[in-house]
Amino acid sequence: MSSTRRSTRQSAAPAPKYADSSPSFSDSDAPKRNDKKAAARRKRVREPDADVEKEDGSPPPKKAATPAAKSKAKSKAKPKPAATTKPTAAPALTASPTNRDAAGNQDVYWLFKAEPTQRYENGQKAGEAFSIDDLQACTKPEPWTGVRNPQATSIMKEMRAGDLGFFYHSNAKPSGVVGILRVVQEAKVDETAFDKGDAYFDPKSTREKPRWWCVGVEFVKRFEGVVDLGKIKGFAGKGGPLEGMQLVRNSRLSVSRVTRGEWEFILGLAEGKEGVEGDGEDTKGEDGDDNAEQDDDGAK
């Protein structure tokens, strides 16, 4: 990522310890008209001259309705069948202003994707690699910069200080949830959008009208293993505990929402607990390879 991100890491410093009070975790121009067609249209407009009023002011004679016309009129009078209304989709999960319930528990959790190894496109570096180990080495809050998707940006604006989220290794072998982070700074302007030397520079984003935002996060915990995408999809079938999870429904987002039930279930998987529904079988990603995926918003 940017030089700012690299400056927050130290390889030798031990990971800070954090107390977690969350009940869920204890640690142009118009087209030209065809002249012939236009002339034909003008001609058709002038054809009903027989129906205009005569010069003496008397109305034109009424035309007698033919049997065919009467039959046509009757057919037009048939009542139309009632229109059927399509069922509306369930609204997307959004956080409350505080993202806390009456008891102070976090309502909505989060998932942050980052690529732990450097990716290249057409021989050029695509973004910057950033792993959970890099986050653990940070000595101050790490700005989650580089998100260039409006939906993902809106999701970050819902986050509140103290919120917990999953750290997810994307485009890895295997891809999956590897640990937990905490939001410590709420949404602020993403400075990398103004830096012409940064991989995420956006000339359309100005300080007067910024387009992109980021939050500051810190390391909480790394899991012993990876809750890989194949296992998550294995529990995301119809009726499964992860059915409808945003990670599966919209895998191109680098930042997504996680319900409380999904959060607790994935924590269980990280601790080695297996659910009843689904068996965690590997599934194919969008590109045909096991766990294949590709974020489209240019995030970490």
16-38 burial: b if 16+ Cβ within 10 Å, else e: eeeeeebeebeeeeeeeeeeeee
Distance CA(181)–CA(112), nearest Å, equals 9
* Nearest-5° Cα angle at 11, 7 to 17: 95
> Could you report the per-residue pLDDT of 170-188, keeping only the tens digit for each?
999 999 999 999 999 999 9
| pLDDT tens profile 198-209 | 888 999 999 999
pLDDT in tens, 205-232: 999 999 999 999 999 999 999 999 999 9
Encode 116-125: b = buried (16+ Cβ within 10 Å), e = exposed: beeeeeeeee
191, 177, 186, 133: which is closest to 159 by C-alpha?
186
Q: So what CATH class is 3-8+107-270? A: alpha beta
